[in-house]
């Protein structure tokens, strides 16, 4: 289970890739500021080390923040309107309602002392300022550490300007260069004999950390004295007689440009084309997007290895699952080169089309044994999917955006991004005026992601529009009975049964059609359970379970197990209910469905209480509270209308007594993720995958 604000974990900070060098005084100042100020912004030019300093400071101060330390990387965010979504995703908030997302984030973060690190704010500065003000106003114990090339301009902001590293022979710049040089060339060692040359290299590069790291890698091909000579000749060409010393931003650009000149022509071309990715990429994506002209797809793996050796790109992970990334400043240089080559639009289209293909592959294979892999893969590629969607939304043909946003229905619906999916689908639908299969798919997907407890009106209005569209335009896709589901969620089971339709067809072809058939069975089971028809519910759920098993499908199969469990409890078979609930929980955990995990946890309360295990049931009630907040909802629907919360809490208070009940619930709330899952699964924690 992934770390989350309300499950006792400490956040999402990544491990540091290599040793942190120097900056002792800055770290002391940041620690002091975070003790008194609510917003601290590290400012400075690109490449000066703001992000690395913030990450080091966050690690150092993590013990002071019981609510966790959470990193929000904004460099890959192209649309400022999605900044709140980026924050929600970073803090593991799966928001499935239509209330303002920022309100949900504020509620989610109200858990005690908490540090939010907003990294690389300058390109979304206005939206950052707005969101930061809202967060600080509504989350009393929140501290924010931001990095930006310019201040956010928020009242109460404390600024710390990050300067280049000190340049003396015994100072940080020399220590950093020596450490990175030793990593690049193990035989290198800083000695009294070469210290002066190293200090001269650092001075030539103005002590800018990124420039020092790029230069250190060059020792693989140049001895130290030749490296210094190369820097001197390269930099002297750009020094104006009126300006004997380069400005720092010129120094960094010149250092990157010098690395660029030392690359082969094909390495430069790949560097430029890779700049279109957001966040990162794998080898397959690079081969598809970046091949063409003199650059064959078969050459790209070797060229990536070469660019990695030169520190132009960095590699994360091992084997075929390895991914590559590029620092923002290096990516910007490549993007400018790509523009100069006149290839920007063509490469962006290839990027868009590759991720359209990925979305279609995921949809085709979603209902099968690869479901967990696709959930993980698309989550990793989220930034690239956003970029592809933005490119589709400016394409001349509106069908392109309809097709991609609609094809991603399974990502929006099952992986916790319903709010974002609604936004993209609505933008795509506003551009489209002509009917067609893409339009029908987008409407179906939009309706699918409106099945949330407080979205009944939207579900009904979309339903009416969909029926009208199908009738007027003779579209082949019938209406999906989601209005009945929304009513059932809100407790209106009788009305839901009237509105529930019997259609068994879904979007034409592909994973959507099969998913529709499975979803129809799930909704039948849901509505029957809401009406207390447990035997019929069990029959439908068993059919759903069998259909999922034939496909190797996990996500919907877990809901089948959920309804089998619910029916078992309702029929007085709590052991059967417990067994099926645990199967559902393990499956929901594997496919990253946090909302599903929370729903099953409530079901386990009922199962354990029915089995005569009141203390365990009360502890699971506490676990469920934390899981619901991790999923972005207090409960699925109104707390007072939730039978597990209302009836079983009352029953457990009576059995245990108020004091023992409260202590057991509190004990469950205080469990960490692994301990909570062991309790829920009866001690069998078989899968350590993050949720």
Structure confidence at residue 453 (pLDDT): 42
Cβ density class 90-121: b for 16+ within 10 Å, e for less:
bbbbbbbbbeebbebbbbbbbbeebbbbbbbb
78 with 146, same domain: the answer is yes
Establish if 565 belongs to a structural domain. no
274 with 256, same domain: the answer is no
The residue segments making up the domain with residue 99 are 24-161
The two beta strands, 157-161 and 314-316, are unpaired
Establish if 545 belongs to a structural domain. yes
552 with 462, same domain: the answer is yes
CATH of the domain at 144: 3.40.50.300
335 with 350, same domain: the answer is no
Give the pair of three-digit tokens for residue 625: 């509270």
Structure confidence at residue 624 (pLDDT): 83
d(CA 496, CA 377): 36
Helices (H), 262-299: 265-274, 283-290
* Number of structural domains in the chain: 6
284 with 354, same domain: the answer is no
Whether 6 has a pLDDT exceeding 70, the answer reads: no
Secondary structure in 3-state letters for 624-638: HHHHHHHHCCCCCCC
Establish if 691 belongs to a structural domain. no
Residue-wise pLDDT for 112-166, tens only, equals 899 999 999 999 999 999 999 999 999 999 999 999 999 999 999 999 999 999 9
142 with 32, same domain: the answer is yes
Rounded mean pLDDT of 176-204?
A: 94
Establish if 53 belongs to a structural domain. yes
When pLDDT is cut at 50, 70 and 90, the band that residue 513 belongs to is low
Domain boundary at 414, 443, 472, which? 443
Q: At what angle do helices 399-407 and 382-393 cross, to 10 degrees?
A: 150
29 with 140, same domain: the answer is yes
- DSSP run (H or E) holding 91: none
Whether 462 has a pLDDT exceeding 90, the answer reads: no
Establish if 270 belongs to a structural domain. yes
Give the CA angle between residues 24, 27, 33 to the nearest 5°: 145
- Residue 367's φ and ψ, nearest 5 degrees, are -90, 70
Structure confidence at residue 120 (pLDDT): 95
Task: Enter the DSSP assignment of 106.
Answer: H
Give the pair of three-digit tokens for residue 308: 């990695």
Establish if 14 belongs to a structural domain. no
Does this model's pTM top 0.85?
Answer: no
Domain boundary at 261, 282, 298, which? 261
Q: Which of 592, 586, 615, 596 is nearest to 680 (CA)?
A: 586
435 with 482, same domain: the answer is no
351 with 398, same domain: the answer is yes
Structure confidence at residue 224 (pLDDT): 92
Establish if 361 belongs to a structural domain. yes
Give the pair of three-digit tokens for residue 249: 């931003």
Rounded mean pLDDT of 315-329?
A: 82
Structure confidence at residue 384 (pLDDT): 97
Structure confidence at residue 522 (pLDDT): 83
Structure confidence at residue 83 (pLDDT): 96
Establish if 386 belongs to a structural domain. yes
User: Quick one: 490 exposed, middle or buried, by C-beta within 10 A (0-12, 13-18, 19+)?
Assistant: middle
Q: Which of 221, 405, 193 is nearest to 309 (CA)?
A: 221
184 with 291, same domain: the answer is no
Structure confidence at residue 335 (pLDDT): 95
CATH of the domain at 309: 1.10.10.10
d(CA 497, CA 478): 18
436 with 534, same domain: the answer is no
Whether 183 has a pLDDT exceeding 90, the answer reads: yes
Q: Helix or strand or coil: residue 682?
A: coil
- DSSP run (H or E) holding 114: strand 114-119
When pLDDT is cut at 50, 70 and 90, the band that residue 433 belongs to is confident
351 with 408, same domain: the answer is yes
Domain boundary at 129, 161, 193, which? 161
The two beta strands, 314-316 and 323-325, are antiparallel
Residue-wise pLDDT for 601-641, tens only, equals 888 988 898 899 999 999 998 888 777 765 555 444 433 33
Whether 663 has a pLDDT exceeding 90, the answer reads: yes
């Amino acid at each position: 289970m992934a770390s989350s604000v309300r499950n006792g974990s400490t956040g999402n900070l990544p491990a540091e890739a290599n040793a942190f060098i120097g900056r002792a005084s800055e770290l002391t100042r940041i620690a002091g500021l975070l003790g008194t100020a609510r917003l601290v912004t590290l400012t400075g030019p690109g490449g000066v080390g703001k992000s690395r300093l913030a990450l080091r400071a966050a690690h150092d101060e993590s013990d002071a923040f019981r609510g966790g330390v959470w990193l929000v990387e904004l460099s890959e965010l192209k649309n400022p309107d999605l900044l709140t979504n980026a924050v929600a995703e970073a803090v593991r908030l799966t928001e499935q309602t239509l209330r303002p997302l920022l309100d949900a984030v504020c509620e989610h973060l109200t858990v005690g002392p908490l540090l939010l690190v907003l990294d690389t704010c300058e390109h979304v500065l206005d939206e950052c300022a707005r969101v930061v003000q809202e967060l600080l106003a509504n989350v009393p114990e929140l501290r924010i550490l931001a990095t930006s090339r310019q201040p956010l301009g928020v009242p109460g902001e404390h600024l710390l300007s990050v300067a280049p590293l000190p340049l003396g022979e015994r100072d940080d710049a020399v220590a950093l260069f020596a450490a990175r040089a030793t990593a690049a060339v193990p035989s290198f060692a800083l000695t009294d004999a070469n210290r002066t040359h190293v200090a001269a290299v650092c001075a030539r590069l103005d002590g800018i950390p990124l420039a020092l790291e790029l230069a250190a890698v060059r020792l693989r091909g140049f001895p130290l004295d030749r490296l210094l000579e190369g820097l001197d000749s390269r930099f002297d060409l750009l020094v104006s007689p009126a300006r004997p010393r380069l400005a720092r931003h010129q120094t960094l650009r010149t250092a990157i440009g010098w690395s660029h000149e030392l690359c082969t022509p094909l390495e430069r071309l790949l560097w430029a084309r890779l700049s279109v990715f957001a966040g990162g990429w794998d080898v397959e994506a690079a081969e598809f997007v970046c091949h063409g002209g003199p650059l064959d797809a078969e050459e790209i793996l070797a060229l990536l290895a070469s660019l990695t050796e030169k520190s132009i790109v960095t590699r994360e992970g091992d084997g075929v699952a390895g991914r590559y990334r590029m620092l923002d400043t290096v990516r910007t240089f490549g993007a400018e080169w790509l523009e100069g080559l006149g290839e920007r639009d063509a490469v962006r289209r290839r990027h868009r089309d590759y991720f359209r293909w990925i979305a279609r592959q995921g949809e085709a294979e979603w209902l099968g044994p690869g479901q967990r892999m696709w959930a993980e893969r698309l989550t990793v590629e989220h930034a690239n999917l956003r970029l592809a969607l933005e490119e589709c939304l400016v394409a001349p043909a509106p069908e392109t955006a309809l097709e991609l946003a609609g094809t991603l229905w399974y990502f929006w619906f099952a992986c916790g991004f319903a709010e974002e999916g609604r936004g993209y689908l609505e933008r795509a639908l506003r551009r489209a005026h002509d009917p067609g299969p893409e339009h029908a798919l987008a409407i179906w997907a939009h309706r699918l992601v409106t099945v949330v407890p407080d979205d009944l009106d939207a579900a009904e209005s979309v339903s009416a529009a969909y029926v009208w569209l199908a009738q007027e335009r003779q579209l082949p896709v019938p209406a999906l009975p989601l209005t009945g589901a929304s009513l059932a969620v809100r407790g209106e089971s009788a009305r839901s049964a009237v509105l529930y339709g019997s259609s068994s067809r879904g979007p034409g072809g592909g994973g959507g059609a099969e998913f529709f058939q499975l979803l129809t069975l799930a909704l039948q089971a849901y509505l029957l359970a809401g009406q207390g028809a447990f035997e019929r519910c069990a029959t439908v759920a068993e059919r759903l379970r069998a259909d999922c098993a034939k496909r190797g499908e996990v996500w919907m199969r877990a809901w089948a197990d959920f309804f089998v469990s619910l029916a078992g409890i309702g029929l007085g078979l709590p052991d059967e209910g417990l067994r099926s609930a645990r199967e559902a929980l393990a499956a929901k955990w594997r496919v990253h469905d946090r909302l599903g995990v929370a729903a099953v946890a409530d079901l386990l309360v009922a199962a354990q209480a029915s089995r005569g295990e009141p203390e365990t049931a009360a502890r699971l009630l506490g676990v469920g509270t934390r899981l619901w907040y991790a999923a972005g909802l207090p409960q699925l629907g109104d707390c007072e209308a939730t039978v597990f919360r209302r009836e079983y809490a009352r029953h457990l208070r009576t059995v245990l007594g108020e004091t023992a009940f409260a202590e057991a619930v509190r004990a469950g709330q205080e469990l960490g993720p692994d301990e909570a899952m062991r309790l829920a699964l009866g001690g069998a924690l078989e899968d350590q995958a993050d949720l």
